[in-house]
């Protein structure tokens, strides 16, 4: 058995975890931006988003376990769960540790979504963008495969997949958007006529 097997496993699982995180964020943006259609997403589309999240946690766990099992770089459980305790690439590893806690928080709030306020779930879920940035910094600063063409193209594809639904949400026309804006600008009020019947009149109109 290759003495660096666990080191290779840690590197591979870390890259897969990053790709799954990018895919999970991109898929969530596709669903929320209605880029796949104006109708509510089909149940299997939401299930795919959850499945990607579960795979992400699984490969993150594999990444951590492989680092502990590896003897090429000495990692203990404290270095993997307490920021700034690692002697190897201290700052880069700390970004990964913080990002991991962000992933756990997002997954837990998703599991218990019906038991917590919707606003809390929404804000925690939106932190996935920050988590992606943290994990990307961790991968670039601590990773040893960032110069690989395969990894470079994977990063490009991931960024494009995330940018497309964001741009689509900003530029796509919204049905009835102008009418809604006009209604907000000139709200209706209800007036009662002398005969007791109610008639709708525009605010600001005599």
Q: Kindly write down the DSSP assignment for every residue of 101-166, as one continuous string.
A: HHHHHHHHHHHTGGGS-HHHHHHHHHTHHHHHHHHHHHHHHH-S-TTSHHHHHHHHHHHHHHHHHH
Count of C-beta atoms within a 10 Å radius of residue 192: 9
Give tens-digit pLDDT for 50-67.
889 999 999 999 999 998
CA 189 to chain centre: 42
> In the predicted model, is pLDDT for residue 179 greater than 70?
no
Average pLDDT value for residue range 89-97: 89
Output the pLDDT for position 205: 40
Q: Is the pLDDT of residue 140 over 50?
A: yes
| Residue 169 pLDDT exceeds 70 | no
Mean local confidence (pLDDT), 168-181: 51
Query: pLDDT by residue (tens digit) across 6-53?
Result: 888 988 898 899 889 988 888 887 777 666 566 656 677 788 888 899
| 3 confidence band (pLDDT: 50, 70, 90) | low
Angle between helix axes 90-111 and 128-142 (nearest 10 degrees) is 150
Residue 192 pLDDT > 50: no
pLDDT at 79: 86
Residues 6+ apart with CB under 8 A from 25: 128, 129, 132, 162
First to last CA, the chain: 88
Tell which wins on pLDDT, 38 or 178.
38
Segment 166-170 mean pLDDT: 65
Summary mean pLDDT of the chain: 75
Instruction: Kindly report the pTM of this predicted structure.
Output: 0.71
Q: In whole angstroms, what is the distance from residue 107 CA to residue 191 CA?
A: 51
Contact between 136 and 21 under an 8 Å Cβ cutoff? The reply is no
Q: Which is it for the CA torsion 16, 21, 27, 29, positive or negative? A: negative
- The predicted pLDDT at position 55 comes to 93
Judge whether residue 118 has pLDDT over 80.
Answer: yes
**Would the pLDDT of 195 be above 60?**
no
Taken as a whole, the chain contains a residue count of 206
Asked if 85 and 78 count as a contact pair (C-beta separation under 8 A), the reply is: yes
CA-based nearest residue to 99, from 61, 128, 79:
128
């Amino acid at each position: 058995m290759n003495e660096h097997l666990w080191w290779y496993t840690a590197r591979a699982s870390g890259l897969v975890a990053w790709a799954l995180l990018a895919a999970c964020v991109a898929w969530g943006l596709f669903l929320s931006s209605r880029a796949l259609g104006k109708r509510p997403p089909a149940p299997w589309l939401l299930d795919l988003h959850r499945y990607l999240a579960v795979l992400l946690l699984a490969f993150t766990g594999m990444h951590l376990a492989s680092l502990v099992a590896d003897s090429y770089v000495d990692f203990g459980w404290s270095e993997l769960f307490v920021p700034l305790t690692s002697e190897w690439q201290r700052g880069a590893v700390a970004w990964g540790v913080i990002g991991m806690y962000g992933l756990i928080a997002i997954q837990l709030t998703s599991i218990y979504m019906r038991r917590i306020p919707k606003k809390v779930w929404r804000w925690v879920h939106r932190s996935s963008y920050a988590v992606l940035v943290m994990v990307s910094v961790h991968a670039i600063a601590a990773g040893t495969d960032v110069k690989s063409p395969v990894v470079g193209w994977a990063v490009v594809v991931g960024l494009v997949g995330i940018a497309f639904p964001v741009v689509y949400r900003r530029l796509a026309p919204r049905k009835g958007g102008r009418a809604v804006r006009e209604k907000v600008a000139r709200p209706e009020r209800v007036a009662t006529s002398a005969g007791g019947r109610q008639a709708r009149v525009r605010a600001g109109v005599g």
